[in-house]
Structure 1
Amino acid sequence: MLSRWPENIRNKILLEKEKIVYPENGNFREKFRLCASERLFLSEALPSEEAVIFLDTDIIFLKSPEILWEEFAFFNSEQLSGLSPSLYLYHRFYKFPVYGKSGLNAGVWMMNLTRIRSIPRGWTTAILKIASVYEGKLKLFDQDIANILFSKALFKAFLKFDVENPLEELLQSIKTSLKNIDYEIDTSRCSKLANIDEMLTKSLEKTILTRI
């Protein structure tokens, strides 16, 4: 196919073949689409690269890809990924946490691989744990895992709560959930704030006390 492209365009493209890398545990290769989940493991598949942009094969650029690459310069010292919002409301269809109001679309994924590799206890460890916890609930798999990985905390507590039960039960469930947060998965900046657990439950606790 590339042989039919103009020579001045071909001269700007360098193609390299790399081996596909998957963890030994879990049949990731055939999830959703063949090898689609490889994007989750590019930090291991491309050990010499500092940053990459993963693109679905149906992506059409209307501007130079270099403009997108320049967005890496705007990452702050903690940001490790860049994705766009999903065009539909994720949570209307799937029962797992998503990032933001609509969730993330992983078709174009900017990755700072150096920072991904520096995650405490490992990025791949977090991926494996998410895949295990939400087994059978993931429809788009790699994109679903990305949403869970970057989602907000407390989703489980609200999902399990029966609205007919006392609010005290919800409060206790939230406190337990916060206490047991696994920071291999929940790595938001909020987790670094002092007394963050108290801040997140203070309003609900005040509401309960005023009703007694």
Structure 2
Amino acid sequence: MTSANIKSAIYARADEIIPASTSYDPFESYMTTILDECYRQILNECPLHLLPFTEYTTPTIVMDTTNSIAYVKKPTGFIRLGHFYFTDWTNPARKFITPEHPDYKMIENGVKVGGKVKPVVVMLDAMLGSDTKPEKYLACYQVTSSTSAKLYYVKYDATPATGIELIDDTVITNGLAWLGAAKLLKIANEKAWELAEQAYMTFIATNTK
């Protein structure tokens, strides 16, 4: 769906809540910002199985063979893990934690170790290999070989108008359009924005497995 069609879908959802005679012309200048905010929010909140994945074809991997940790440099535009798999693992990883997560301290202290059935991935800052400054890495535990990494991730496109068009039409019509309508109505100072936001949240909840 093109950006123009997505904007039309947002207006249509807003018109379902308040009279169609309402003019949004004064708020048209906000639509670029609204689309970008909706794009980012959908990538962060929509169930993974509804989002497009990008393959990390040539990942930069630094191995810590002593501790069986593979450090994978974060790809450009990375938002969320989609499907991350090493052959050392029984199952793929679909999410990561940060050093602020309670489990991380237990992992670092050896109380809890990353498993192969439930792989642990930690997003952290590190200087590895040829790095000249700290970079973001995905630390993957219980990995002995870097030759079998398969990483698919949710990507934020640097050109939002291009990235948002890759989202499935059903997600746009039933989710993103409601989210955009909520943001538009809020700017227009229409209390009905809460109804649009609730419709968006219902879409998220209904599709969460």
Query: Do the structures match in fold with TM over 0.5?
Result: no
Answer 1 or 2: which has greater strand percent: 2
Q: TM-score range by the shorter chain?
A: under 0.3
TM-score by length of 2: 0.26
TM-score by length of 1: 0.26
